[in-house]
């Protein structure tokens, strides 16, 4: 398996682990899964020069926003897998280790804290949400799960595909 294929498999797999966690949160913690259609709405307004919204749910819907949001979600997961491999080297794909994957997963929370949440009206690090502390903890937990997913997906890819 070449490095690019390893990055794509790892990124998609890690994002899938994160999404499974998102589905499990409702029965376990009473927290609904994220709506990536709203991410698509936010991204869909950008070509018209609209980068910030007071409340993205109240913004005009964008055609294909759900597909756009989910596609962006998985491409972002692949991008963070590429960042991990760029930081630790492509040999990591042959012998994945947990600590660098968790580190990148936790650092990845800066994207929603500093870009997405402010742009979608939730404020920096969810500061404009009803319970910012709870939202921050959930984001950190979800991105730690993504980091675990990076490790698990790379480990599975190594076992399933000749690396």
Q: pLDDT tens-digit profile of 82-119?
A: 999 999 999 999 999 999 999 999 999 999 999 999 99
Q: Any idea what DSSP says for residue 48? A: G
Dist CA 20 CA 65 (whole Å)? 21
pTM here? 0.94
From the number of C-beta atoms within 10 Å of its C-beta (0-12, 13-18, 19+), residue 81 rates as buried
Q: Any idea what DSSP says for residue 34? A: P
Dist CA 88 CA 83 (whole Å)? 9
Dist CA 20 CA 34 (whole Å)? 11
pLDDT band (50, 70, 90) for residue 163? very low
Residue 74 CA neighbour count, 13 Å, CB half: 10
141-152 mean pLDDT: 98
């Amino acid at each position: 398996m070449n490095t690019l294929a390893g990055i794509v498999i790892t990124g998609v797999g890690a994002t899938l682990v994160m999404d499974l966690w998102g589905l499990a949160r409702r029965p376990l913690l009473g927290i609904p899964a994220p709506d990536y259609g709203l991410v698509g709405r936010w991204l869909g307004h950008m070509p018209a020069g609209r980068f910030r919204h007071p409340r993205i749910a109240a913004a005009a819907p964008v055609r294909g926003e759900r597909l756009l949001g989910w596609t962006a979600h998985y491409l972002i997961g692949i991008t963070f897998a590429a960042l991990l491999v760029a930081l630790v080297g492509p040999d990591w794909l042959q012998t994945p280790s947990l600590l660098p994957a968790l580190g990148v997963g936790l650092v990845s929370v800066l994207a929603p804290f500093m870009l997405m949440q402010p742009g979608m009206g939730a404020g920096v690090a969810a500061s404009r949400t009803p319970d910012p502390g709870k939202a921050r903890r959930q984001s950190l937990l979800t991105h730690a799960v993504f980091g675990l997913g990076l490790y698990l997906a790379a480990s599975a890819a190594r076992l399933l595909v000749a690396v």
